[in-house]
Amino acid sequence: MKGHLLEVELLSLDPWNYDKIQDFFTKYNDLLLQLKGCGIDKSKEESRQVLSIMSKLRLEYSIFCVYISFSKAHNR
């Protein structure tokens, strides 16, 4: 049950609820560690997680999103 609640919290995280993007990523990583402690390993879903985060970022981070997309395409 705790794992399910942590997954819901992870999916509902919004970078704009934090003063700094670093605080968002700290919380995000903390939730991933807690999930792992519950036996839920999200590392296999990394690409989907990155896309989920990118979709929540606003225009200020668009160059970051373009860079990640380009890097992933270039490394294939």
The torsion angle over the Cα atoms of residues 9, 72, 44 and 62, rounded to 10 degrees, is: 0
Maximum separation of any 2 CA atoms in the chain, in Å: 40
The closest of 68, 64, 57 to 16, measured between CA atoms, is 57
* Residue scoring higher pLDDT (54 or 38): 38
* Residue scoring higher pLDDT (67 or 27): 27
User: Quick one: pLDDT at residue 66?
Assistant: 54
The torsion angle over the Cα atoms of residues 15, 20, 26 and 28, rounded to 10 degrees, is: 0
User: Quick one: pLDDT at residue 34?
Assistant: 94
24/22 Cα distance (integer angstroms)? 5
User: Quick one: pLDDT at residue 9?
Assistant: 92
What is the value of pTM for the model shown? 0.66
